[in-house]
Amino acid sequence: MRVDYWHILATCARRLVACGVTAVVIACGLTFAPPATSASTELLSCGGTGSNTFQPGVNNTPRTVTVHSEAHYQPCTGTSGITSGHYELTAAGTVSCLGGAFTITFTITWNTGQTSTITAIGVLVLRPANETVVLYHGTVTAGTFAGATVLQTAAVLNATPEQCFTEEGVTGTSGVAAIAITQSS
């Protein structure tokens, strides 16, 4: 099946909307838009959930924050019998309750025992209902799907938005997640 990045973003956005989160296509689609002539074949697409803890907590002042993040992807559709996957990572970036970015490298372990190591850049986009949408765009650098492009989305709810106005800040979030892995045609 041939798809383009707009299709991948729309698919991820539909999954997020289905879970009650505002769509991210308009806010973020332009950030990661490849040339209009680029077409890709979708190798794998998964929905799931994710959670993050922050040290120090995220507040309204941009500062270096270490995030421990994990996601559980299921169900997955695509090739190679992969139906689920999981990862945990620790990364640092300059963020605040108003936005920021992370560069990450992590390994997803799939239900088949295969792994995919991914390096990606993430951008935080804030929405008006205290949810934070994170888009990661990167490449599978080793393992299953090596050389493929990865687009991850996560929409996490900040259950304590008032913490943004404290020194302690927001120390954790959780919510829905999606990943799409594609190969350029």
The full 3-state SS of the chain, as one line of letters, equals CEECHHHHHHHHHHHHHHCCCCCCHHHHCCCCCCCCCCCEEEEEEEEEEEEEEEEEEECCCCEEEEEEEEEEEEEEEECCCCCCEEEEEEEEEEEECCEEEEEEEEEEEECCCCEEEEEEEEEEEECCCCEEEEEEEEEEEEECCCCCEEEEEEEEECCCHHHHHCCCCEEEEEEEEEEEEEEEC
Of 36-40, 61-65, 117-121, 132-136, minimum mean pLDDT range: 36-40
| Counted domains in the chain | 1
Residue 54, pLDDT > 50, answer yes
pLDDT at 18: 39
Q: Is the peptide bond prior to 75 cis by the omega test (within 30 degrees of 0)? A: yes
Q: Is the pLDDT of residue 178 over 60?
A: yes
Its domain, for residue 69, covers 2-184
- pTM listed for this prediction: 0.76
What pLDDT was estimated at residue 127? 64
pLDDT of residue 19: 38
pLDDT confidence bin for 48, thresholds 50/70/90: very high
Chain mean pLDDT for the chain: 79
